[in-house]
């Protein structure tokens, strides 16, 4: 379905994708929608799939990856330059036929079209014979953080069934400022704890628990993460079937959620979170260390991670 039929002036779109049920995308994007009202996401359209990346306070990154295989049609001859888009508006468009959280009676078909840098992202949605044609402005992308998670040794990782994790997160005190994650080869193996007004809450997982599928832990590690940054990951947890938790040598936490749908096709949502470190100097050292390794996606001249400020994402 070329756009040329409708408008002669339109160039050949660089990217076309069709999806049987828009709900898949909307559910995943909702889980990376952070609390910021002006939430933006950087979109990477690759031959293998689409990746949406959202960031918060330069300390946390959430990304959702939809593989090409889940689309009915996926035409992307070459990797396109990334662009930024208003995530909330995109979600509004995707949910244009649905009312709130009620499941749609009929699946909403979706067709995505993008002509290249500077053009709009076009969404064509159809439900029950009614069409909705949406054009979303694309913005110049900012450099996104590259946490370079794998560059540093990943000592500890585990894969756990999400139902176990859901109960654990529900138990935690969300009013607490920090979440402490302890992973160690001995007791307590995996422990999530919060310290709130009333006291401390610990959730312990033994390594041989039924819900834990794999547990590899070589070094005991204990790190604290801001609860406000971890909170969005609970949304991803809620829709997932499996969770992978990894911690690298610098204490960064990577939570990957596997979401599977009726067709037993899987998509992934990942959250990367920087640890809360009382020692700011060590962070600066790490920052300079980081700038030495990968130059493509870095924030040059950023003095510190600014864990303690909620800095607004860099606007254009």
Summarize as ranges the residues that interact with other proteins (CB under 8 A). Answer: 164, 167-168, 170-171, 173, 196-206, 208-211
Q: How far is CA 248 from the centre of its chain?
A: 18
Q: Is 151 left (phi over 0), alpha (psi -120 to 50) or beta?
A: alpha
> Least Å distance between CB 211 and other proteins?
5
Contact (CB, 8 A) for 84 and 142: yes
For other proteins, which is the closer residue by CB, 143 or 173? 173
Contacts of 229 (CB under 8 A, 6+ apart): 56, 57, 59, 60, 273, 274
> Least Å distance between CB 178 and other proteins?
16
**7 in helix, strand or coil?**
coil
For other proteins, which is the closer residue by CB, 196 or 220? 196
Residue 59: how many CA atoms within 13 Å on its side-chain side? 23
For other proteins, which is the closer residue by CB, 8 or 208? 208
At 171, phi and psi to the nearest 5? -75, -25
Q: Which residues of 292-302 are buried (b: 16+ CB within 10 A; e: fewer)?
A: eeeeeebbeeb
> Least Å distance between CB 125 and other proteins?
37
For other proteins, which is the closer residue by CB, 23 or 242? 242
> Least Å distance between CB 177 and other proteins?
16
For other proteins, which is the closer residue by CB, 10 or 176? 176
> Least Å distance between CB 212 and other proteins?
8
Contacts of 103 (CB under 8 A, 6+ apart): 23
> Least Å distance between CB 192 and other proteins?
10
For other proteins, which is the closer residue by CB, 197 or 288? 197
């Amino acid at each position: 379905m070329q756009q040329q039929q409708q408008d002669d002036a339109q160039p050949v779109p660089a990217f076309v994708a069709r999806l049987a049920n828009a709900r898949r995308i909307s559910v995943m994007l909702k889980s990376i929608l952070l609390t910021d009202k002006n939430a933006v996401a950087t979109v990477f359209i690759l031959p293998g799939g689409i990746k949406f990346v959202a960031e918060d306070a330069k300390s946390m990154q959430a990304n959702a990856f939809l593989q090409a295989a889940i689309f009915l049609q996926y035409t992307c001859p070459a990797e396109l330059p990334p662009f930024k888009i208003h995530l909330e508006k995109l979600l509004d468009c995707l949910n244009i036929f649905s009312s709130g959280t009620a499941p749609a009676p009929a699946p909403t078909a979706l067709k995505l079209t993008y002509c290249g840098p500077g053009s709009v992202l076009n969404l064509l949605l159809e439900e029950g014979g009614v069409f909705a044609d949406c054009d979303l402005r694309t913005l110049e992308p900012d450099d996104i953080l590259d946490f370079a998670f794998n560059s540093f040794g990943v000592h500890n990782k585990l894969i756990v069934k999400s139902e176990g994790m859901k109960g654990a997160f529900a138990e935690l005190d969300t009013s607490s400022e920090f979440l402490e994650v302890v992973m160690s080869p001995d007791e307590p193996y995996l422990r999530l704890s919060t310290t709130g007004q009333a006291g401390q809450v610990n959730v312990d997982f033994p390594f041989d628990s039924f819900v834990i599928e794999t547990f590899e832990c070589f070094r005991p590690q204990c790190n604290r993460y801001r609860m406000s940054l971890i909170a969005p990951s609970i949304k991803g947890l809620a829709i997932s079937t499996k969770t992978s938790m990894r911690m690298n040598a610098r204490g960064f936490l990577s939570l990957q959620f596997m979401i599977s749908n009726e067709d037993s096709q899987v998509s992934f949502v990942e959250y990367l979170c920087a640890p809360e470190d009382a020692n700011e100097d060590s962070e600066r050292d790490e920052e300079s260390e980081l700038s030495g390794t990968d130059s493509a996606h870095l924030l040059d001249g950023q003095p510190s991670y600014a864990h303690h400020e909620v800095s607004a994402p860099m606007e254009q």
